[in-house]
């Protein structure tokens, strides 16, 4: 297999509350702990999990926005070093990010054309008429008009703003775009437009996506493979068909059961096995498997030893002592 576009090896991001005069520093909050995954060229990897599971922290770490305390991340063969501005500059030519809220991702005082052209200008890749042409081409590629370049973000709807953010991310022709909940703030009909656009752009350019989302129906639609995170760790990673067809980790199973399907017949026929309890604090993880406090099939070993991510026959990787093969 050719070199992956993104390779994350045993990555760890810990946060620590600062101590004070009368207060000791708190325990490390293990936002991401021992995560290994890769994304191939042209592939979409879905990354799912609930709030606080570390999926956004991992996305930030890939762009060097938060430092790793362990492990390595390489983008297109280059190691991401958050303390090295030169390497970050290079990485960000290959990897770009699209955030959840397009209103917060755009500078309200910068015209759309200036925002989209800025990465090209900063790197001296285009100027003058060439820059204008490039911006016009990017606007057209995301389904907007070339003459929108002179307008400001407030003149656009939420869906159009997300198109602008996507155009900006594409300016440097990155090999990887990290989409962090890119459609969560949008209405359903607009969400469909953006998902269609992302699919089309990938088909045309062959770039890869790391698609971070809490919405399983969206991930099922767009991802080739899916990784499920729980409290900083990957609990299961498999192809879309295997993960949705034969989920093995009890947390994956619970997530799939909990997500309501827009079909009353199927939804009401689903088994009602509601996951009890709430997410433990990432600063105070239970010993053993982090899921053992909510797991319906946990036994003694789960409270003692953390399970490793083990490959199964069909290629799925599952971190559970009791999951079927």
Interacting residues toward other proteins by CB under 8 A: 50-51, 157, 187-189, 191-193, 195-196, 199, 214, 216-218, 220-224, 240, 244, 254-255, 257-268, 272, 274-275, 278-279
Residue 263 tokens read as 């079909």
Is residue 27 within 8 A of residue 284, CB to CB? The reply is yes
Q: How far apart, in Å, do the first and last CA atoms of the chain sit?
A: 25
Q: Which residue is associated with the tokens 């890119």?
A: 182
Minimum CB separation of residue 88 from other proteins in Å reads 32
**Which of residues 12 and 141 has its CB atom nearest to other proteins in the complex?**
141
**Which of residues 29 and 135 has its CB atom nearest to other proteins in the complex?**
29
**Which of residues 218 and 320 has its CB atom nearest to other proteins in the complex?**
218
**Which of residues 203 and 313 has its CB atom nearest to other proteins in the complex?**
203
**Which of residues 22 and 274 has its CB atom nearest to other proteins in the complex?**
274
Q: In angstroms, rounded to a whole number, what is the distance separating the alpha carbons of residues 228 and 218?
A: 14
Minimum CB separation of residue 187 from other proteins in Å reads 4
Minimum CB separation of residue 127 from other proteins in Å reads 35
The total of other beta-carbon atoms located within 10 Å of residue 275's CB is 16
Minimum CB separation of residue 189 from other proteins in Å reads 4
Is residue 167 within 8 A of residue 136, CB to CB? The reply is no
C-alpha distance from residue 228 to each of 55, 186, 219, 231, 252 (Å): 9, 23, 11, 10, 7
State the DSSP code for 23: -
Minimum CB separation of residue 274 from other proteins in Å reads 5
Minimum CB separation of residue 124 from other proteins in Å reads 36
Residue 65 tokens read as 């926005």
Q: In angstroms, rounded to a whole number, what is the distance separating the alpha carbons of residues 8 and 35?
A: 7
Is residue 159 within 8 A of residue 192, CB to CB? The reply is no
Is residue 59 within 8 A of residue 223, CB to CB? The reply is no
Minimum CB separation of residue 18 from other proteins in Å reads 20
In this structure, the strands spanning 44-48 and 225-230 are: parallel
**Which of residues 129 and 188 has its CB atom nearest to other proteins in the complex?**
188
Backbone torsions φ then ψ of 40, nearest 5 degrees: -85, 165
Is residue 232 within 8 A of residue 8, CB to CB? The reply is no
Q: In angstroms, rounded to a whole number, what is the distance separating the alpha carbons of residues 41 and 28?
A: 35
**Which of residues 92 and 225 has its CB atom nearest to other proteins in the complex?**
225
Minimum CB separation of residue 62 from other proteins in Å reads 23
**Which of residues 86 and 278 has its CB atom nearest to other proteins in the complex?**
278
């Amino acid at each position: 297999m050719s070199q992956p576009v993104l390779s994350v090896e045993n990555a760890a991001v810990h946060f620590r509350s600062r101590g004070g005069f009368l207060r000791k520093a708190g325990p490390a909050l293990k936002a991401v702990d021992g995560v290994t995954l890769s994304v191939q060229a042209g592939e979409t990897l879905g990354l799912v999990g609930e709030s606080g599971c570390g999926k956004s922290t991992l996305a930030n770490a890939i762009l060097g926005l938060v430092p790793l305390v362990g492990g390595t991340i390489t983008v297109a063969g280059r190691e991401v070093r958050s303390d090295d501005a030169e390497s970050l500059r290079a990485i960000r030519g290959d990897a770009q990010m699209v955030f959840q809220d397009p209103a917060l991702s755009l500078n309200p005082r910068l015209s759309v054309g200036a925002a989209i052209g800025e990465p090209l200008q900063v790197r001296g890749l285009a100027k003058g008429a060439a820059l204008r042409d490039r911006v016009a081409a990017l606007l057209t590629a995301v389904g907007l008009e070339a003459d929108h370049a002179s307008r400001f973000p407030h003149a656009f709807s939420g869906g159009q703003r997300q198109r602008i953010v996507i155009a900006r991310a594409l300016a440097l022709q990155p090999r990887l775009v990290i989409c962090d909940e890119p459609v969560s703030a949008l209405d359903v009909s607009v969400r469909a437009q953006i998902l269609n656009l992302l699919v089309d752009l990938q088909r045309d350019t062959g770039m890869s996506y790391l698609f971070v989302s809490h919405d399983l129906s969206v991930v099922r639609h767009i991802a080739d493979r899916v990784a499920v995170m729980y409290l900083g760790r990957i609990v299961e990673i498999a192809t879309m068909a295997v993960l949705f067809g034969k989920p093995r980790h009890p947390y994956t199973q619970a997530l799939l059961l909990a997500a309501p399907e827009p079909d009353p017949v199927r939804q009401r026929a689903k088994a009602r096995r509601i996951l009890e309890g709430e997410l433990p604090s990432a600063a105070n993880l239970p010993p053993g498997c982090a899921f053992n406090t909510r797991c319906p099939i946990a036994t003694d070993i789960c409270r003692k030893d953390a399970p490793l991510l083990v490959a199964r026959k069909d290629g799925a990787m599952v971190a559970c002592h009791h999951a079927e093969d």
